[in-house]
Amino acid sequence: MRVVELFCGAGGMSLGLREAGCDVVAAYDAWPVAVENYNRNLGVDHSKVADLGDLLGIVPDLLKLAPDMIAGGPPCQDYSSAGGREEAENARLTLAFALIVASVRPRWFLMENVTGAAKSATWAQARAVLKRAGYGLTESKIDASRYGVPQSRRRFFVIGRQGERDGFLASAIAAAASAQPMTIRDLFGATTPVAVYFPSTSEARRSIWSPDEPAPTIRERSIRPLPESYKPHPDDAALVENGFVYSRPVRAGRGVRSVDEPFPTVTRTTWERPTSRYLSSPHPADPVAASETAVLTVPQISRIQGFPMWWEWRASAKRDVLQMIANAVPAPVACAIGSAILDREAGKTVPAIEGRFFHWLVRRGRSRQSAWNTKSLAGRARHLLGGRTFEVPALELAALESLDEFRAMKKNAQSDLRQALRLLSEYQSEGRQRRRKIQRTPPIEIHPLAEAA
């Protein structure tokens, strides 16, 4: 899968997509410092400085590259709670992202933003552009601590694929989540002697895992005793031994976290020590005094954000480093989503049949047995279709009928499969109509970007 990343920052998302197996061939950002960190750490020269609000400047280049997927996290300050929620020029870059995707028309796109974007007027416009361009959308709010980083960071991810039905990847994204959130101890405690060593096949992935977290995919060389020479980093050992860290609270939140919880969302002020105001009036739920907590180093903040130990930050100001870290999509999150996309592209996963389909069939007079059979036939049809769903039911049936495996079936087996798919489409379009009544999509109304400048 050839990927172009827009608003690539220092490369968190690209790193994760590459780890999933994507071939990231180009990346763009307006900030030269981020572009420089991207190229040096990822060992490439394909990241370029560009203003992505200038569609005429970028779309022709992307048309030439003809990527299979466009990924990107347009700036989010205008949506985030820290930014006062006034939608202005930055939010409009979300619209620029949608217009670029609609012009270049890759098979897939992946967009990341803060959760506040999901209900914004700008996303409603961008969404309408993407729907009109023929994309089925999966809109998911994801907690990063369930996808391989010890950080309760909730973000809005939209995955689009040409011709699909909305929600087509939701079950795969949900299935990739871990049952338990990852904790600070899971990451840094894994560097204490009680750890499991799974030698990694890639430089970008760690080899030391906590015994309390789900193991990585087991490979032939996996599970060896920790090498004798292995020494935990003194900063990590000190952090775990202390047991508590401070994070400057957003609004009136708690400042002190135990290492047995995830860290809160990393921001560019995460490194700051408690103010005298906080020390004299701490949060009542703080388990220990903020003055007693460990201080996170910048490399530790970088790792909480999913960057590997070898990642080297370079900038003349510390605040630039923290800004690049805070901006990033944690690589393990991007890797999990990228893997879900690649698996679906390869037909290795199939969207779950929506839970209420069975009840809907029973309400329409089917016996439980017959409803069960229909549901499992619909699942079989989706397997035959390689996990594809189709926005247009007639195209779904046509795709099924074009398959050799389907053609080789007996006539009655074919008609059972067709009937199951038809019923599933009917059920889904009823659901869509219900949802449309609830949330009327505003009409597309696009003002020139220059107007906002």
Ligand X SMILES: C[S@@+](CC[C@H](N)C(=O)[O-])C[C@H]1O[C@@H](n2cnc3c(N)ncnc32)[C@H](O)[C@@H]1O
Q: 143 or 416: whose CB is closer to ligand X? A: 143
Smallest separation, CB 13 to ligand X (Å): 4
Per-position x/- string for 18-47, each x denoting binding to ligand X as judged by CB under 6 A, each - no binding: -----------xxx--x-------------
Helix (H) and strand (E) counts in the chain = 18, 13
Element (H, E) at 182: none
**Span of 70-78, 101-109, 341-349, 426-434 interacting with ligand X by CB under 6 A:** 70-78
User: Which residue type does 114 have?
Assistant: V
Smallest separation, CB 429 to ligand X (Å): 35
Q: Which of these, 214, 141, 217, lies nearest to 174 by C-alpha position?
A: 141
Size of interface with ligand X, in residues (CB under 6 A):
21
Element (H, E) at 289: none
Q: Which two tokens stand for residue 7?
A: 């608003």
**How do strand 263-264 and strand 151-152 relate by DSSP bridges?**
parallel
Which residues have a Cβ under 8 Å from the Cβ of 232 and sit 6 or more positions away? 191, 192, 193
Q: 131 or 268: whose CB is closer to ligand X? A: 268
Among candidate residues 8, 22, 76, 335, the one labeled active-site is 76
Q: Please report where in the chains the tokens 């107007």 appear, as a residue.
A: 451
Is residue 324 within 8 Å of residue 10, measured between CB atoms? yes
22 is catalytic: no
Q: 24 or 245: whose CB is closer to ligand X? A: 24
Q: 234 or 448: whose CB is closer to ligand X? A: 448
Question: Is 93 one of the binding residues for ligand X (CB under 6 A)?
Answer: yes
Per-position x/- string for 295-334, each x denoting binding to ligand X as judged by CB under 6 A, each - no binding: --------------------------------xxx-----
Smallest separation, CB 335 to ligand X (Å): 12
Q: Which two tokens stand for residue 133?
A: 């361009």
Q: 76 or 421: whose CB is closer to ligand X? A: 76
Question: Is 384 one of the binding residues for ligand X (CB under 6 A)?
Answer: no
Question: Is 97 one of the binding residues for ligand X (CB under 6 A)?
Answer: no
Q: CA-CA distance, 305 to 132, in Å (whole number)?
A: 35
Q: CA-CA distance, 382 to 349, in Å (whole number)?
A: 10
Smallest separation, CB 31 to ligand X (Å): 3
Q: How far apart are the first and last CA of the chain?
A: 35
Q: Given the rule CB under 6 A, which residues bind ligand X?
A: 7-13, 29-31, 34, 51-53, 73, 75-76, 93, 327-329
Which of the residues are catalytic?
76
